[in-house]
Structure 1
Amino acid sequence: MRAVIVEEPGGPESLVVAEVPDPQAGPGEVVIAVASAGVNRADLLQRQGHYPPPPGTTDVIGLECAGVVEAVGEGVSDLRVGDEVCALLAGGGYAERVVVPAGPVVPLPAGVDLLTAGAIPETYATVWSNVFMLAGLTAGETLLVHGGASGIGTTAIQLAKAFGAKVVTTVGSAEKAEVVRDLGADVVVNYREEDFAEVCREAGGVDVVLDIIGAKYLGQNVKALARGGRIVVIGMQGGVKGELNLSALLQKQGTVSATSLRFRPTEEKAAIMADLVEHVWPLIEDGTLGPIVHAAVALDDVADAHRILEESSHVGKVVLDLRG
Protein backbone atom coordinates (compact mmCIF):
# COMPACT_ATOMS: atom_id res chain seq x y z
CA MET A 1 0.00 0.00 0.00
CA ARG A 2 0.99 3.67 -0.32
CA ALA A 3 1.85 5.59 2.82
CA VAL A 4 3.65 8.77 3.82
CA ILE A 5 7.02 8.25 5.47
CA VAL A 6 9.68 10.64 6.76
CA GLU A 7 13.12 9.58 5.55
CA GLU A 8 14.91 12.34 7.49
CA PRO A 9 13.31 14.83 9.91
CA GLY A 10 12.91 18.24 8.35
CA GLY A 11 10.54 20.48 6.43
CA PRO A 12 7.45 19.51 4.41
CA GLU A 13 9.70 18.32 1.59
CA SER A 14 10.85 15.44 3.83
CA LEU A 15 7.44 13.79 3.48
CA VAL A 16 7.65 10.96 0.94
CA VAL A 17 4.89 8.73 -0.42
CA ALA A 18 6.26 5.18 -0.56
CA GLU A 19 5.14 1.56 -0.83
CA VAL A 20 4.97 -0.19 2.56
CA PRO A 21 3.55 -3.55 3.66
CA ASP A 22 -0.21 -3.80 4.19
CA PRO A 23 -1.19 -3.93 7.89
CA GLN A 24 -2.81 -7.07 9.30
CA ALA A 25 -5.56 -7.18 11.92
CA GLY A 26 -4.54 -8.94 15.12
CA PRO A 27 -6.84 -9.90 18.00
CA GLY A 28 -9.05 -6.96 18.98
CA GLU A 29 -8.02 -4.92 15.95
CA VAL A 30 -9.52 -3.81 12.65
CA VAL A 31 -7.98 -2.69 9.37
CA ILE A 32 -9.53 0.46 7.90
CA ALA A 33 -9.29 1.38 4.22
CA VAL A 34 -8.61 5.07 4.72
CA ALA A 35 -10.78 7.58 2.84
CA SER A 36 -9.51 10.68 4.64
CA ALA A 37 -7.04 11.59 7.37
CA GLY A 38 -6.94 14.77 9.40
CA VAL A 39 -3.74 16.82 9.45
CA ASN A 40 -2.76 18.11 12.90
CA ARG A 41 -0.06 20.27 14.48
CA ALA A 42 1.30 17.18 16.19
CA ASP A 43 1.98 15.73 12.73
CA LEU A 44 4.24 18.67 11.95
CA LEU A 45 6.17 18.05 15.15
CA GLN A 46 6.60 14.37 14.32
CA ARG A 47 7.83 15.25 10.83
CA GLN A 48 10.43 17.55 12.43
CA GLY A 49 11.61 14.78 14.78
CA HIS A 50 10.16 16.34 17.94
CA TYR A 51 7.18 14.08 18.62
CA PRO A 52 8.01 10.38 18.25
CA PRO A 53 5.15 7.86 18.27
CA PRO A 54 4.51 5.63 21.27
CA PRO A 55 6.72 2.52 21.43
CA GLY A 56 5.48 -0.21 19.11
CA THR A 57 3.48 2.21 16.95
CA THR A 58 4.04 2.69 13.23
CA ASP A 59 6.29 5.56 12.16
CA VAL A 60 3.68 6.59 9.57
CA ILE A 61 2.22 9.94 10.62
CA GLY A 62 -1.50 10.46 11.22
CA LEU A 63 -3.61 10.61 14.41
CA GLU A 64 -7.11 10.24 12.94
CA CYS A 65 -8.91 8.88 9.93
CA ALA A 66 -12.23 7.96 8.40
CA GLY A 67 -12.83 5.04 6.10
CA VAL A 68 -14.33 1.61 5.61
CA VAL A 69 -13.59 -1.46 7.72
CA GLU A 70 -11.68 -3.87 5.50
CA ALA A 71 -10.72 -6.64 7.96
CA VAL A 72 -11.70 -7.61 11.50
CA GLY A 73 -9.46 -9.40 13.98
CA GLU A 74 -10.38 -12.13 16.42
CA GLY A 75 -12.62 -10.98 19.26
CA VAL A 76 -14.07 -7.94 17.51
CA SER A 77 -17.87 -8.16 17.53
CA ASP A 78 -19.16 -4.58 17.23
CA LEU A 79 -17.60 -3.82 13.85
CA ARG A 80 -18.03 -5.56 10.51
CA VAL A 81 -16.34 -5.46 7.14
CA GLY A 82 -17.94 -2.67 5.12
CA ASP A 83 -18.80 -0.41 8.07
CA GLU A 84 -18.10 3.28 7.53
CA VAL A 85 -16.18 4.50 10.57
CA CYS A 86 -13.83 7.12 11.99
CA ALA A 87 -11.07 6.46 14.47
CA LEU A 88 -8.50 7.88 16.84
CA LEU A 89 -5.04 6.58 16.03
CA ALA A 90 -1.68 6.50 17.76
CA GLY A 91 -0.23 6.78 14.24
CA GLY A 92 -0.61 5.52 10.70
CA GLY A 93 -3.37 7.71 9.27
CA TYR A 94 -1.38 8.99 6.28
CA ALA A 95 -1.77 5.69 4.44
CA GLU A 96 -4.19 3.74 2.28
CA ARG A 97 -4.81 1.33 5.16
CA VAL A 98 -4.30 1.45 8.90
CA VAL A 99 -4.63 -1.12 11.67
CA VAL A 100 -6.14 0.14 14.94
CA PRO A 101 -7.58 -1.34 18.15
CA ALA A 102 -11.33 -1.59 17.78
CA GLY A 103 -12.13 0.48 20.88
CA PRO A 104 -11.51 3.98 19.46
CA VAL A 105 -13.28 3.11 16.18
CA VAL A 106 -16.87 4.37 15.95
CA PRO A 107 -19.60 4.76 13.31
CA LEU A 108 -19.82 8.07 11.47
CA PRO A 109 -22.43 10.58 12.57
CA ALA A 110 -25.46 10.18 10.31
CA GLY A 111 -25.26 12.44 7.28
CA VAL A 112 -21.50 13.03 7.47
CA ASP A 113 -19.49 11.90 4.45
CA LEU A 114 -16.18 10.06 4.64
CA LEU A 115 -14.10 13.09 3.64
CA THR A 116 -15.55 15.39 6.28
CA ALA A 117 -15.43 12.66 8.93
CA GLY A 118 -11.64 12.60 8.72
CA ALA A 119 -11.70 16.01 10.39
CA ILE A 120 -13.64 14.85 13.44
CA PRO A 121 -11.87 12.37 15.77
CA GLU A 122 -8.75 14.21 16.98
CA THR A 123 -10.19 17.68 17.54
CA TYR A 124 -13.52 16.56 18.94
CA ALA A 125 -11.93 13.99 21.26
CA THR A 126 -9.34 16.53 22.39
CA VAL A 127 -11.87 19.24 23.18
CA TRP A 128 -14.41 16.91 24.75
CA SER A 129 -11.92 15.05 26.96
CA ASN A 130 -10.18 18.21 28.17
CA VAL A 131 -12.83 20.91 28.34
CA PHE A 132 -15.73 18.79 29.52
CA MET A 133 -14.45 15.51 31.00
CA LEU A 134 -11.33 16.94 32.70
CA ALA A 135 -12.00 20.64 33.33
CA GLY A 136 -15.73 20.14 33.80
CA LEU A 137 -17.00 23.17 31.88
CA THR A 138 -20.69 23.68 32.62
CA ALA A 139 -23.48 25.87 31.33
CA GLY A 140 -23.05 29.49 32.41
CA GLU A 141 -19.28 29.25 32.77
CA THR A 142 -16.76 30.92 30.45
CA LEU A 143 -14.20 29.16 28.25
CA LEU A 144 -11.10 30.86 26.87
CA VAL A 145 -9.77 29.02 23.84
CA HIS A 146 -6.62 30.16 22.08
CA GLY A 147 -6.43 29.97 18.29
CA GLY A 148 -10.17 30.23 17.74
CA ALA A 149 -9.95 29.72 13.97
CA SER A 150 -7.91 26.50 14.22
CA GLY A 151 -9.35 23.01 14.12
CA ILE A 152 -9.31 22.86 17.91
CA GLY A 153 -10.62 26.39 18.23
CA THR A 154 -13.56 26.06 15.85
CA THR A 155 -14.53 22.80 17.56
CA ALA A 156 -14.22 24.21 21.09
CA ILE A 157 -16.29 27.28 20.29
CA GLN A 158 -19.13 25.24 18.83
CA LEU A 159 -19.14 22.64 21.61
CA ALA A 160 -18.98 25.19 24.43
CA LYS A 161 -21.84 27.20 22.97
CA ALA A 162 -23.90 24.07 22.38
CA PHE A 163 -23.64 23.22 26.05
CA GLY A 164 -24.51 26.69 27.31
CA ALA A 165 -21.11 28.24 28.05
CA LYS A 166 -19.76 31.66 27.14
CA VAL A 167 -16.67 31.75 24.89
CA VAL A 168 -13.69 34.09 24.73
CA THR A 169 -11.21 33.36 21.97
CA THR A 170 -8.02 34.75 20.45
CA VAL A 171 -7.31 35.25 16.76
CA GLY A 172 -4.66 36.98 14.68
CA SER A 173 -6.69 38.78 12.03
CA ALA A 174 -9.95 40.61 11.38
CA GLU A 175 -10.96 37.92 8.89
CA LYS A 176 -10.60 35.17 11.46
CA ALA A 177 -12.40 37.33 14.04
CA GLU A 178 -15.43 37.43 11.76
CA VAL A 179 -15.37 33.64 11.34
CA VAL A 180 -15.28 32.88 15.06
CA ARG A 181 -18.03 35.38 15.80
CA ASP A 182 -20.19 33.59 13.26
CA LEU A 183 -19.48 30.35 15.14
CA GLY A 184 -20.77 31.92 18.35
CA ALA A 185 -17.75 33.37 20.16
CA ASP A 186 -18.94 36.03 22.62
CA VAL A 187 -15.65 37.91 23.01
CA VAL A 188 -12.94 37.92 20.33
CA VAL A 189 -9.44 39.20 21.10
CA ASN A 190 -6.94 40.01 18.37
CA TYR A 191 -3.76 38.97 20.15
CA ARG A 192 -1.69 41.19 17.89
CA GLU A 193 -3.50 44.27 19.22
CA GLU A 194 -4.86 43.42 22.68
CA ASP A 195 -3.80 41.71 25.89
CA PHE A 196 -6.18 38.77 26.19
CA ALA A 197 -5.46 38.35 29.89
CA GLU A 198 -6.43 41.94 30.62
CA VAL A 199 -9.61 41.61 28.59
CA CYS A 200 -10.52 38.47 30.56
CA ARG A 201 -9.62 40.05 33.91
CA GLU A 202 -11.77 43.10 33.25
CA ALA A 203 -14.68 40.80 32.40
CA GLY A 204 -14.35 38.94 35.71
CA GLY A 205 -12.10 36.10 34.59
CA VAL A 206 -12.65 32.82 32.78
CA ASP A 207 -13.46 29.43 34.28
CA VAL A 208 -11.59 27.20 31.83
CA VAL A 209 -8.64 27.88 29.52
CA LEU A 210 -7.91 25.51 26.64
CA ASP A 211 -4.34 26.36 25.70
CA ILE A 212 -2.62 25.22 22.51
CA ILE A 213 0.29 27.64 23.00
CA GLY A 214 2.06 26.40 26.14
CA ALA A 215 4.94 28.14 27.90
CA LYS A 216 4.55 31.55 26.28
CA TYR A 217 1.01 32.00 27.64
CA LEU A 218 1.33 30.31 31.03
CA GLY A 219 1.53 33.47 33.16
CA GLN A 220 -1.11 35.29 31.13
CA ASN A 221 -3.46 32.32 31.39
CA VAL A 222 -3.25 32.43 35.20
CA LYS A 223 -3.96 36.16 35.10
CA ALA A 224 -7.05 35.48 32.96
CA LEU A 225 -8.56 33.00 35.43
CA ALA A 226 -11.56 33.56 37.64
CA ARG A 227 -11.53 32.10 41.15
CA GLY A 228 -11.46 28.31 40.86
CA GLY A 229 -10.43 28.45 37.22
CA ARG A 230 -8.87 25.54 35.38
CA ILE A 231 -6.12 25.70 32.75
CA VAL A 232 -5.63 22.74 30.43
CA VAL A 233 -2.48 22.82 28.29
CA ILE A 234 -2.67 20.67 25.16
CA GLY A 235 -0.04 22.24 22.89
CA MET A 236 3.48 23.63 22.82
CA GLN A 237 3.48 26.10 19.94
CA GLY A 238 4.84 28.76 22.31
CA GLY A 239 7.55 26.63 23.92
CA VAL A 240 7.92 23.91 26.53
CA LYS A 241 9.38 25.78 29.53
CA GLY A 242 7.70 28.66 31.31
CA GLU A 243 7.54 30.29 34.73
CA LEU A 244 4.49 29.72 36.91
CA ASN A 245 3.65 32.28 39.60
CA LEU A 246 2.35 29.95 42.28
CA SER A 247 1.23 32.85 44.45
CA ALA A 248 -1.05 34.10 41.68
CA LEU A 249 -2.37 30.57 41.10
CA LEU A 250 -3.02 30.10 44.82
CA GLN A 251 -4.90 33.37 45.03
CA LYS A 252 -7.14 32.22 42.20
CA GLN A 253 -7.42 28.72 43.74
CA GLY A 254 -6.71 27.58 40.21
CA THR A 255 -5.37 24.42 38.66
CA VAL A 256 -3.07 23.68 35.71
CA SER A 257 -3.29 20.37 33.87
CA ALA A 258 -1.51 19.10 30.79
CA THR A 259 -2.64 16.19 28.64
CA SER A 260 -1.79 14.32 25.46
CA LEU A 261 -4.47 12.33 23.69
CA ARG A 262 -2.02 10.26 21.66
CA PHE A 263 -0.36 8.55 24.62
CA ARG A 264 -3.53 7.62 26.51
CA PRO A 265 -4.32 3.92 26.89
CA THR A 266 -6.66 2.41 24.32
CA GLU A 267 -9.36 1.99 26.97
CA GLU A 268 -9.38 5.73 27.68
CA LYS A 269 -9.55 6.61 24.01
CA ALA A 270 -12.44 4.17 23.59
CA ALA A 271 -14.31 5.78 26.50
CA ILE A 272 -13.82 9.25 25.02
CA MET A 273 -15.08 8.17 21.60
CA ALA A 274 -18.08 6.42 23.18
CA ASP A 275 -18.88 9.63 25.07
CA LEU A 276 -18.73 11.58 21.81
CA VAL A 277 -21.12 9.16 20.12
CA GLU A 278 -23.58 9.56 22.99
CA HIS A 279 -23.38 13.30 23.62
CA VAL A 280 -21.95 14.98 20.50
CA TRP A 281 -22.95 12.88 17.49
CA PRO A 282 -26.63 13.90 17.90
CA LEU A 283 -25.59 17.58 17.72
CA ILE A 284 -23.64 16.95 14.52
CA GLU A 285 -26.52 14.98 13.06
CA ASP A 286 -29.09 17.76 13.72
CA GLY A 287 -26.79 20.48 12.37
CA THR A 288 -26.13 22.23 15.67
CA LEU A 289 -22.38 21.94 15.06
CA GLY A 290 -19.92 20.27 12.74
CA PRO A 291 -16.34 20.12 11.52
CA ILE A 292 -15.04 22.87 9.26
CA VAL A 293 -12.81 21.61 6.45
CA HIS A 294 -10.54 24.33 5.09
CA ALA A 295 -8.93 22.19 2.41
CA ALA A 296 -8.80 18.60 1.16
CA VAL A 297 -5.39 17.65 -0.21
CA ALA A 298 -4.42 14.53 -2.18
CA LEU A 299 -1.99 12.11 -0.55
CA ASP A 300 0.66 12.92 -3.16
CA ASP A 301 0.44 16.58 -2.15
CA VAL A 302 0.84 15.96 1.58
CA ALA A 303 3.69 18.49 1.78
CA ASP A 304 1.22 21.19 0.73
CA ALA A 305 -1.10 20.18 3.57
CA HIS A 306 1.72 20.70 6.08
CA ARG A 307 2.60 24.05 4.53
CA ILE A 308 -0.98 25.26 4.98
CA LEU A 309 -0.82 24.51 8.70
CA GLU A 310 2.58 26.13 9.06
CA GLU A 311 1.33 29.31 7.40
CA SER A 312 -1.61 29.44 9.87
CA SER A 313 -3.82 30.96 7.20
CA HIS A 314 -6.42 28.21 7.45
CA VAL A 315 -9.76 28.12 9.22
CA GLY A 316 -10.76 24.76 10.68
CA LYS A 317 -9.14 21.55 9.50
CA VAL A 318 -7.00 20.35 6.63
CA VAL A 319 -7.56 16.74 5.56
CA LEU A 320 -5.83 14.31 3.24
CA ASP A 321 -8.18 12.87 0.62
CA LEU A 322 -7.40 9.20 -0.15
CA ARG A 323 -10.65 8.34 -1.92
CA GLY A 324 -8.86 7.95 -5.24
Structure 2
Amino acid sequence: MSDSHPPYGEQQPDPNVTPWSGPPAPPQQGGYPPYGQPPPPPHYGTPLPPAPNTSNKGLIIGLVAGAVVVILAICGAGIGILLAYDDDEPARGTSSTPTLGTGSTPGTGTAPTPGQADPPNDNNNSMTARYSSDLSNVCEGSPILNAAPYSGPAGAKAYTFSNNPDRPTYWSSKYVPSDKSYYAKGSDYQKVSVVGCLRFDEGSQGAPKKCQYKDKDEKQVTVDYVSSRYTLTLYAARTAEKIGDGGTVTAPTNRCPSFISYDKTTMRAYAAPDSGTIEAALDKFLS
Protein backbone atom coordinates (compact mmCIF):
# COMPACT_ATOMS: atom_id res chain seq x y z
CA MET A 1 0.00 0.00 0.00
CA SER A 2 1.51 3.26 -1.04
CA ASP A 3 0.93 6.77 0.21
CA SER A 4 -0.61 9.09 -2.32
CA HIS A 5 0.65 12.67 -2.44
CA PRO A 6 -0.60 15.44 -4.62
CA PRO A 7 1.61 16.49 -7.40
CA TYR A 8 4.19 19.17 -6.65
CA GLY A 9 2.77 22.59 -6.88
CA GLU A 10 -0.75 21.65 -6.04
CA GLN A 11 -2.46 22.90 -2.88
CA GLN A 12 -1.98 20.72 0.13
CA PRO A 13 -5.15 19.65 1.87
CA ASP A 14 -5.92 21.32 5.19
CA PRO A 15 -5.17 18.89 7.98
CA ASN A 16 -7.91 20.51 10.10
CA VAL A 17 -10.56 19.76 7.51
CA THR A 18 -11.99 16.36 7.38
CA PRO A 19 -13.68 15.00 4.35
CA TRP A 20 -17.03 15.28 6.08
CA SER A 21 -16.58 18.86 7.48
CA GLY A 22 -17.16 22.08 5.66
CA PRO A 23 -14.67 24.85 5.04
CA PRO A 24 -12.92 26.33 8.08
CA ALA A 25 -14.91 28.92 10.03
CA PRO A 26 -13.70 32.48 9.82
CA PRO A 27 -12.25 34.05 13.01
CA GLN A 28 -14.85 35.48 15.42
CA GLN A 29 -15.05 39.24 15.66
CA GLY A 30 -13.17 40.42 18.71
CA GLY A 31 -12.30 36.91 19.84
CA TYR A 32 -9.56 34.44 19.30
CA PRO A 33 -9.06 32.57 15.93
CA PRO A 34 -9.80 28.86 15.74
CA TYR A 35 -7.27 26.52 17.16
CA GLY A 36 -4.27 26.14 14.89
CA GLN A 37 -4.80 29.38 12.92
CA PRO A 38 -2.61 32.44 13.44
CA PRO A 39 -4.28 35.61 14.81
CA PRO A 40 -5.04 38.39 12.37
CA PRO A 41 -2.45 41.11 12.08
CA PRO A 42 -3.06 44.22 14.25
CA HIS A 43 -4.43 47.32 12.59
CA TYR A 44 -1.69 49.88 13.14
CA GLY A 45 -2.21 53.53 12.28
CA THR A 46 -5.93 53.64 12.99
CA PRO A 47 -6.69 57.21 14.27
CA LEU A 48 -8.37 57.59 17.73
CA PRO A 49 -11.65 59.44 17.91
CA PRO A 50 -11.19 63.13 18.84
CA ALA A 51 -11.73 64.11 22.56
CA PRO A 52 -14.85 66.13 23.21
CA ASN A 53 -14.24 69.84 23.44
CA THR A 54 -14.84 71.36 26.92
CA SER A 55 -15.87 74.98 27.22
CA ASN A 56 -15.88 77.41 30.27
CA LYS A 57 -18.60 79.51 28.75
CA GLY A 58 -21.35 77.90 30.84
CA LEU A 59 -19.37 78.27 34.09
CA ILE A 60 -18.70 81.96 33.47
CA ILE A 61 -22.35 82.63 32.70
CA GLY A 62 -23.38 80.85 35.93
CA LEU A 63 -20.96 82.88 38.08
CA VAL A 64 -22.11 86.17 36.57
CA ALA A 65 -25.75 85.28 37.15
CA GLY A 66 -25.02 84.33 40.80
CA ALA A 67 -23.20 87.62 41.45
CA VAL A 68 -26.13 89.59 40.05
CA VAL A 69 -28.54 87.73 42.35
CA VAL A 70 -26.36 88.44 45.43
CA ILE A 71 -26.09 92.17 44.59
CA LEU A 72 -29.85 92.44 44.12
CA ALA A 73 -30.42 90.68 47.47
CA ILE A 74 -28.06 93.07 49.31
CA CYS A 75 -29.72 96.12 47.76
CA GLY A 76 -33.14 94.81 48.71
CA ALA A 77 -32.05 94.19 52.33
CA GLY A 78 -30.62 97.72 52.61
CA ILE A 79 -33.82 99.28 51.35
CA GLY A 80 -35.81 97.16 53.82
CA ILE A 81 -33.65 98.31 56.75
CA LEU A 82 -34.06 101.97 55.79
CA LEU A 83 -37.81 101.58 55.55
CA ALA A 84 -37.94 99.81 58.92
CA TYR A 85 -35.83 102.57 60.52
CA ASP A 86 -38.15 105.24 59.17
CA ASP A 87 -41.12 103.34 60.58
CA ASP A 88 -39.52 103.05 64.06
CA GLU A 89 -38.46 106.70 64.27
CA PRO A 90 -40.72 108.38 66.83
CA ALA A 91 -42.61 111.42 65.81
CA ARG A 92 -40.93 114.59 66.98
CA GLY A 93 -43.11 117.16 68.58
CA THR A 94 -42.65 120.37 70.44
CA SER A 95 -41.93 120.18 74.16
CA SER A 96 -43.19 122.63 76.68
CA THR A 97 -41.09 123.99 79.53
CA PRO A 98 -42.34 122.71 82.89
CA THR A 99 -43.45 125.24 85.42
CA LEU A 100 -40.91 125.52 88.21
CA GLY A 101 -42.26 125.68 91.71
CA THR A 102 -40.75 127.52 94.61
CA GLY A 103 -38.47 125.39 96.75
CA SER A 104 -36.09 125.83 99.63
CA THR A 105 -32.74 127.39 98.87
CA PRO A 106 -29.89 124.90 99.49
CA GLY A 107 -27.21 125.87 101.93
CA THR A 108 -29.49 127.84 104.24
CA GLY A 109 -28.67 125.52 107.14
CA THR A 110 -32.21 124.16 107.54
CA ALA A 111 -32.18 120.59 108.80
CA PRO A 112 -33.89 118.13 106.42
CA THR A 113 -37.29 116.86 107.50
CA PRO A 114 -37.20 113.13 108.35
CA GLY A 115 -38.42 111.09 105.39
CA GLN A 116 -38.05 114.03 102.99
CA ALA A 117 -35.65 113.89 100.05
CA ASP A 118 -32.42 115.86 100.41
CA PRO A 119 -32.45 119.28 98.72
CA PRO A 120 -30.20 119.81 95.69
CA ASN A 121 -26.58 120.27 96.67
CA ASP A 122 -24.57 123.12 95.15
CA ASN A 123 -21.79 123.12 97.73
CA ASN A 124 -18.42 123.35 96.01
CA ASN A 125 -16.80 121.54 98.94
CA SER A 126 -18.91 118.39 98.57
CA MET A 127 -16.96 115.19 98.05
CA THR A 128 -17.25 111.43 97.64
CA ALA A 129 -15.81 109.40 100.50
CA ARG A 130 -13.41 106.55 99.85
CA TYR A 131 -12.60 105.77 103.49
CA SER A 132 -14.37 106.16 106.82
CA SER A 133 -11.97 108.96 107.81
CA ASP A 134 -13.23 111.04 104.86
CA LEU A 135 -16.47 111.64 106.74
CA SER A 136 -14.54 113.92 109.13
CA ASN A 137 -14.76 116.53 106.37
CA VAL A 138 -18.40 117.02 107.37
CA CYS A 139 -17.05 118.84 110.42
CA GLU A 140 -15.45 121.35 108.02
CA GLY A 141 -18.69 121.83 106.07
CA SER A 142 -18.19 119.30 103.26
CA PRO A 143 -21.23 117.17 102.32
CA ILE A 144 -20.44 113.51 101.63
CA LEU A 145 -22.23 112.60 98.40
CA ASN A 146 -22.18 108.84 98.93
CA ALA A 147 -23.23 108.89 102.58
CA ALA A 148 -26.64 107.60 103.61
CA PRO A 149 -29.44 110.19 103.62
CA TYR A 150 -30.66 111.26 107.04
CA SER A 151 -34.31 110.33 107.58
CA GLY A 152 -34.54 110.63 111.35
CA PRO A 153 -32.78 109.32 114.46
CA ALA A 154 -34.33 105.85 114.32
CA GLY A 155 -31.97 103.41 112.63
CA ALA A 156 -29.33 106.04 111.88
CA LYS A 157 -25.64 105.09 111.90
CA ALA A 158 -23.12 107.57 113.32
CA TYR A 159 -19.42 108.42 113.38
CA THR A 160 -17.79 110.89 115.79
CA PHE A 161 -14.64 112.98 115.34
CA SER A 162 -12.78 115.53 117.47
CA ASN A 163 -10.26 118.16 116.46
CA ASN A 164 -6.87 118.86 118.00
CA PRO A 165 -6.31 122.06 120.00
CA ASP A 166 -2.88 122.50 118.42
CA ARG A 167 -4.25 121.70 114.94
CA PRO A 168 -7.91 122.76 114.82
CA THR A 169 -8.51 121.44 111.29
CA TYR A 170 -7.17 117.96 112.08
CA TRP A 171 -9.95 115.56 113.08
CA SER A 172 -9.50 112.12 114.62
CA SER A 173 -12.08 109.39 115.05
CA LYS A 174 -13.58 108.77 118.47
CA TYR A 175 -14.69 105.43 119.85
CA VAL A 176 -18.32 104.33 119.50
CA PRO A 177 -19.35 101.11 121.33
CA SER A 178 -20.05 98.24 118.96
CA ASP A 179 -23.14 97.15 120.90
CA LYS A 180 -24.99 100.36 120.07
CA SER A 181 -27.66 100.45 117.36
CA TYR A 182 -25.98 103.47 115.75
CA TYR A 183 -22.57 101.78 115.54
CA ALA A 184 -21.07 101.32 112.05
CA LYS A 185 -17.90 99.51 111.07
CA GLY A 186 -15.17 101.35 109.23
CA SER A 187 -16.04 99.55 106.00
CA ASP A 188 -19.71 100.58 106.29
CA TYR A 189 -19.10 104.32 105.94
CA GLN A 190 -21.69 104.59 103.15
CA LYS A 191 -24.37 103.54 105.65
CA VAL A 192 -23.55 106.43 107.99
CA SER A 193 -26.04 109.31 107.98
CA VAL A 194 -24.98 111.21 111.14
CA VAL A 195 -21.59 112.71 112.00
CA GLY A 196 -20.87 114.01 115.49
CA CYS A 197 -18.20 116.73 115.60
CA LEU A 198 -16.42 117.48 118.89
CA ARG A 199 -14.90 120.93 118.54
CA PHE A 200 -12.38 122.18 121.08
CA ASP A 201 -13.57 125.15 123.14
CA GLU A 202 -10.90 127.83 123.01
CA GLY A 203 -9.84 129.02 126.47
CA SER A 204 -11.24 125.98 128.26
CA GLN A 205 -7.83 124.57 129.23
CA GLY A 206 -7.34 123.65 132.86
CA ALA A 207 -4.23 123.51 134.97
CA PRO A 208 -1.84 120.91 133.55
CA LYS A 209 -1.17 117.65 135.29
CA LYS A 210 2.48 116.62 135.44
CA CYS A 211 3.01 113.14 134.02
CA GLN A 212 6.35 111.29 133.95
CA TYR A 213 7.39 109.18 130.97
CA LYS A 214 10.48 107.80 129.28
CA ASP A 215 11.24 108.77 125.74
CA LYS A 216 12.61 106.46 123.04
CA ASP A 217 16.11 106.94 124.45
CA GLU A 218 14.90 105.80 127.88
CA LYS A 219 15.36 109.33 129.17
CA GLN A 220 12.94 110.58 131.85
CA VAL A 221 10.66 113.38 130.60
CA THR A 222 7.80 115.37 132.14
CA VAL A 223 4.70 116.12 130.06
CA ASP A 224 2.04 118.72 130.88
CA TYR A 225 -1.25 116.87 130.55
CA VAL A 226 -4.01 119.47 129.93
CA SER A 227 -7.75 119.13 130.50
CA SER A 228 -10.33 121.00 128.40
CA ARG A 229 -13.90 121.00 127.08
CA TYR A 230 -15.47 120.21 123.71
CA THR A 231 -18.83 120.99 122.13
CA LEU A 232 -20.61 118.14 120.35
CA THR A 233 -22.65 119.06 117.27
CA LEU A 234 -24.51 116.55 115.10
CA TYR A 235 -24.69 116.90 111.31
CA ALA A 236 -26.38 115.08 108.45
CA ALA A 237 -23.49 113.39 106.65
CA ARG A 238 -24.92 113.80 103.17
CA THR A 239 -25.71 117.52 103.41
CA ALA A 240 -23.37 118.71 106.20
CA GLU A 241 -26.35 120.48 107.76
CA LYS A 242 -26.78 120.70 111.50
CA ILE A 243 -29.43 118.35 112.89
CA GLY A 244 -28.81 118.50 116.64
CA ASP A 245 -26.71 119.52 119.64
CA GLY A 246 -24.92 117.04 121.84
CA GLY A 247 -23.90 119.51 124.52
CA THR A 248 -20.56 119.88 126.28
CA VAL A 249 -18.14 116.99 126.54
CA THR A 250 -15.30 117.26 129.03
CA ALA A 251 -11.74 116.04 128.53
CA PRO A 252 -10.59 115.20 132.06
CA THR A 253 -7.05 114.58 133.32
CA ASN A 254 -7.86 112.58 136.44
CA ARG A 255 -4.90 110.27 135.87
CA CYS A 256 -1.95 110.06 133.55
CA PRO A 257 -2.54 107.69 130.62
CA SER A 258 -0.22 104.75 130.05
CA PHE A 259 0.47 105.97 126.54
CA ILE A 260 0.55 109.61 125.48
CA SER A 261 1.30 111.64 122.36
CA TYR A 262 2.81 115.03 123.13
CA ASP A 263 4.41 118.02 121.46
CA LYS A 264 8.19 117.77 121.87
CA THR A 265 8.54 121.54 121.61
CA THR A 266 6.02 122.53 124.27
CA MET A 267 6.13 119.18 126.15
CA ARG A 268 2.35 119.40 126.35
CA ALA A 269 -0.50 117.02 125.58
CA TYR A 270 -4.28 117.45 125.64
CA ALA A 271 -6.68 114.97 127.16
CA ALA A 272 -9.19 113.27 124.85
CA PRO A 273 -12.95 113.89 125.14
CA ASP A 274 -14.61 111.57 127.62
CA SER A 275 -16.00 108.47 125.87
CA GLY A 276 -18.81 107.99 128.41
CA THR A 277 -20.12 111.52 127.85
CA ILE A 278 -20.03 111.06 124.06
CA GLU A 279 -21.94 107.79 124.35
CA ALA A 280 -24.58 109.36 126.60
CA ALA A 281 -25.11 112.24 124.15
CA LEU A 282 -25.49 109.88 121.17
CA ASP A 283 -27.87 107.66 123.11
CA LYS A 284 -30.06 110.65 123.87
CA PHE A 285 -30.22 111.85 120.28
CA LEU A 286 -30.27 108.59 118.28
CA SER A 287 -32.13 106.17 120.54
TM range (shorter): under 0.3
* Structure with more relative contact order (C-alpha pairs < 8 Å, separation 6 or more): 1
Q: What's the TM-score, normalizing by structure 1?
A: 0.21
Q: Which has the larger radius of gyration?
A: 2
Q: What's the TM-score, normalizing by structure 2?
A: 0.23
- Flag the structure with higher helix content: 1
- Flag the structure with higher strand content: 1
